[in-house]
């Protein structure tokens, strides 16, 4: 699946907290027609009960997402933040993660959600891949790394 598209790769996103990061990144999915107007509020609501931050060997990331009813077309928006923002850790909400990159997923088919999450986890546990994401210096480099690892 071609999940990453050039218009969905963002570099240097300014956000003070997780909600602002979700707003800014989610609105790019919305303005490009990948998700419905209900998507961003649904992601923020889900994040309260089911946080998506992950502390990797390399650094922290988050993969905010929500139910497929809010999605028009499956995609992943990759956003490198200007500075890390705090997300709750997946499975351990009281633990905090300083997320440097968001992988905001728009998954339409619930049967594909587990497959997509497993695919993402494969990338996250690949330290070399994550260091390439971190080393990207602009949107073009970030897109090239994202396409290399996330488009199957």
Question: What pLDDT is stored for residue 152 in this prediction?
Answer: 62
Per-residue pLDDT, 1: 55
Q: Domain ranges in the chain? A: 6-146
Give pTM, 2 decimals.
0.94
d(Cα 31, Cα 34) in Å, to the nearest integer?
A: 8
Query: pLDDT tens, 69-110?
Result: 999 999 999 999 999 999 999 989 899 999 999 999 998 887
Q: How far apart are CA 51 and CA 60, in angstroms?
A: 13
Confidence bin at 60 (pLDDT 50/70/90): very high
Task: Give tens-digit pLDDT for 29-46.
Answer: 999 999 999 999 999 999
CATH code assigned to 6-146: 3.40.930.10
């Amino acid at each position: 699946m071609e999940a990453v598209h050039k218009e969905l790769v963002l570099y240097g996103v300014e956000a003070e907290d997780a909600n602002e990061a979700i707003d800014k990144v989610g609105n790019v999915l919305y303005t490009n027609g990948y998700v419905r107007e209900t998507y961003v509020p649904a992601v923020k609501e889900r994040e309260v009960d089911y946080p998506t931050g992950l502390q990797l060997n390399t650094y922290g990331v988050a993969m905010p997402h929500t139910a497929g009813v809010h999605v028009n077309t499956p995609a992943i928006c990759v956003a490198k933040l200007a500075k890390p923002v705090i997300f709750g850790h997946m499975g351990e909400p009281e633990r905090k993660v300083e997320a440097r990159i968001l992988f905001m997923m728009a998954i339409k088919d619930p049967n594909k959600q587990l497959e997509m999450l497993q695919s993402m986890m494969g990338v996250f546990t690949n330290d070399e891949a994550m260091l390439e994401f971190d080393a990207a210096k602009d949107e073009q480099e970030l897109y090239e790394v994202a396409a290399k690892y996330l488009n199957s």
